[in-house]
Amino acid sequence: MTKKAAKKTKKVSQGQKKAGTKTKHEEEKRKVPVARMLVNKVVIGKDFDELAGRAYGKVMGKRLELAFVEALYLLEKEKIVLTKNGKKISFSELMSAGLRLDPRLHEKYVVYSDLRERGLVVKTGFKFGCDFRVYKRGVGVKKGPKGPGEHTKWIVFVVPEDYTCAFQELSRAVRLAHSIRARMLWSIVDNENNVTYYEVLRLKP
C-alpha cells in the first residue's frame, strides 16, 4: 500500500470515528428526561431518578413534580426537554407562563439559579411560608429525624431592590427561621439581576 493510500484510509477511519461520536452524543441527548408543562407545575413521568437524587422536585407516586423555578433552571441547563400538548416549550415561553401566575418568578429564578450555582441544595418553601429552603452542600433532603447538619440551614425570602416592608414582616421571617432552627436570608435582586444577601438574626438583650 502506498503512503498516499494509507493516508486516505486513515482519514476515512477518522471520519467514521467522528460520525460514531456524533451518534453517541445524539443517543445521550435523547436520554434527557421529557417533562410536561401543566397549569402550575411541570411533571416528569420517567428517567427522573438522577434529578430526584440531586434534590430537584418532589416524587409523587411514579412521577417527579417540579416547581416552575426548578423547571426553568433545568431547562436552561438542558437537563430536561419541556413539552405541552406535544409541542416543545422554550425557556422564555415557560417564564412568560409562570409570570402570569407569580409576578415574582423572575426574581425567584435569579436567586434559585445563584444558590444552585454555588453548589447548595435548594428546595421550595411553600409549606414554610418562605420562598426557598437551603441546605449545605451534599446534604440529602429527607423526612423524619435528621442528624447534625441535615436540617435546613437558611430560609430565603426573595424581593426586588425597590421592595419596602415593615419591621413586623422581618420579625415574622426571623421567628419562622428560629422555629425550625434555621437562619433567615433576605435576598435582594437588582435591575441587573445581581443578588445581595442579608442575614437577619434574632438577638436577645
At 90-140, the pLDDT tens digits run 999 999 999 999 999 999 999 999 999 999 999 999 888 899 999 987 666
Q: Please check whether residues 181 and 88 belong to one and the same domain.
A: no
How many residues appear in the chain?
A: 205
Q: What are phi and psi of 22, to 5 degrees?
A: -65, -40
* Tens digit of each residue's pLDDT (9 = 90 or more) over 136-168: 876 666 555 455 566 788 999 999 999 988 888
For residue 9, the model assigns a pLDDT of: 39
Final residue belonging to a domain, choices 80, 102, 124: 102
Going by C-alpha positions, the residue among 54, 51, 22, 59 that lies closest to residue 34 is 51
Final residue belonging to a domain, choices 54, 77, 102: 102
> 27 in a domain, yes or no?
no
> Is 46:33 a contact under the CB 8 Å cutoff?
yes
Q: Find all residues with CB under 8 Å of 161, minimum gap 6, and list them.
A: 188, 189, 190, 191
Going by C-alpha positions, the residue among 74, 188, 201 that lies closest to residue 131 is 188
Q: Please check whether residues 44 and 136 belong to one and the same domain.
A: no
| Number of folded domains that form the chain | 2
> 109 in a domain, yes or no?
yes
For residue 110, the model assigns a pLDDT of: 98
pTM value surpassing 0.85? no
DSSP annotation of 182 reads -
The grid coordinates of residue 157 equal 425570602
The range of the structural domain enclosing residue 123 comes to 104-205
> 26 in a domain, yes or no?
no
DSSP annotation of 57 reads S
CATH number for 194:
3.40.1350.10
> Is 99:107 a contact under the CB 8 Å cutoff?
no
Lowest mean pLDDT among 22-26, 174-178, 182-186: 22-26
